[in-house]
Amino acid sequence: MDASTAPTFSQFFKRNFKRVLDYWSQLTVTLGFLGAGLAILGLYVYTRAIGRTDLFLAAIDAKAALALWLLLIVLIMVGYLGVLFASAWFYGISVSMFDKVPEKHNRIAAWLLLPLCLGFCVFTLLLFIYPDTFSAGISMGMIFSFTLIAYFALFSFKKFRAIFDENTQHLVTWKKISFCLWVGFVIGLAVIFASLPTLLILSTYVGEDNAEAVVVVGLFSLGTLVLSLVPVFIFYISKGHVIARVAYGLAAALVLFATFLLLSPGAMPTITYAAAGNLAIRQQGPARFILDEEISLGDVDNRQWRTRLNEKNKVEVTAFPLLSFGDILLLCSSDLRYLNLYQLPRYTRFCIATRHSKVTRKPLRPSLTPGLSWQKWAGHTLNWETVRSAVLTPILSHHPRPPAKYDVPRFKPLG
For residues 133 and 219, state if they share a domain. Answer: yes
In a domain, 304, yes or no: yes
pLDDT of residue 70: 86
In a domain, 399, yes or no: no
Q: Which stretches in the chain have pLDDT values below 50?
A: 1-4, 374, 377, 381, 384, 387, 391-392, 394-415
- Helix 105-124 crosses helix 86-96 at what angle (to 10 degrees)? 140
pLDDT of residue 373: 52
End residue of a domain, out of 227, 248, 273: 227
End residue of a domain, out of 193, 209, 227: 227
For residues 305 and 206, state if they share a domain. Answer: no
For residues 200 and 312, state if they share a domain. Answer: no
In a domain, 373, yes or no: no
End residue of a domain, out of 362, 392, 409: 362
For residues 201 and 96, state if they share a domain. Answer: yes
For residues 205 and 95, state if they share a domain. Answer: yes
In a domain, 32, yes or no: no
For residues 220 and 298, state if they share a domain. Answer: no
pLDDT of residue 23: 74
Give the separation between CA 320 and CA 287, rounded to whole angstroms: 6
pLDDT of residue 410: 41
Print the domain residue range for 100: 86-227
For residues 100 and 212, state if they share a domain. Answer: yes
Give the count of domains, the chain.
Answer: 2
For residues 102 and 213, state if they share a domain. Answer: yes
In a domain, 276, yes or no: no
- Can you give the three-state secondary structure of the chain, one letter per residue? CCCCCCCCHHHHHHHHHHHHHHCHHHHHHHHHHHHHHHHHHHHHHHHHHCCCHHHHHHHCCCHHHHHHHHHHHHHHHHHHHHHHCHHHHHHHHHHHCCCCCHHHHHHHHHHHHHHHHHHHHHHHHHHHHCCCCCCHHHHHHHHHHHHHHHHHHHHHCHHHHHHHHHHCCCCCHHHHHHHHHHHHHHHHHHHHCCHHHHHHHHHHCCCCCCHHHHHHHHHHHHHHHHHCCHHHHHHHHCCCCHHHHHHHHHHHHHHHHHHHHHHCCCHHHHHHHHHHHHCCCCCCCCEEEECCCCCCHHHCCHHHHCCEECCCCCEEEEEEEEEEECCEEEEEEHHHHHCCHHHHHHCHHHCEEEEHHHCEEECCCHHHCCCCCHHHHHHHHCCHHHHHHHHHHHHHHHCCCCCHHHHCCCCCCCC
pLDDT of residue 21: 74
In a domain, 287, yes or no: yes
| C-alpha torsion angle, residues 180, 185, 187, 190 (rounded to 10) | -160
* pLDDT tens digit sequence for 217-269: 888 899 999 999 999 999 999 887 788 888 899 999 999 998 888 887 778 88
In a domain, 150, yes or no: yes
In a domain, 9, yes or no: no
For residues 343 and 219, state if they share a domain. Answer: no
Q: How far is CA 160 from CA 88, 144, 354, in A?
A: 21, 21, 67
pLDDT of residue 152: 94
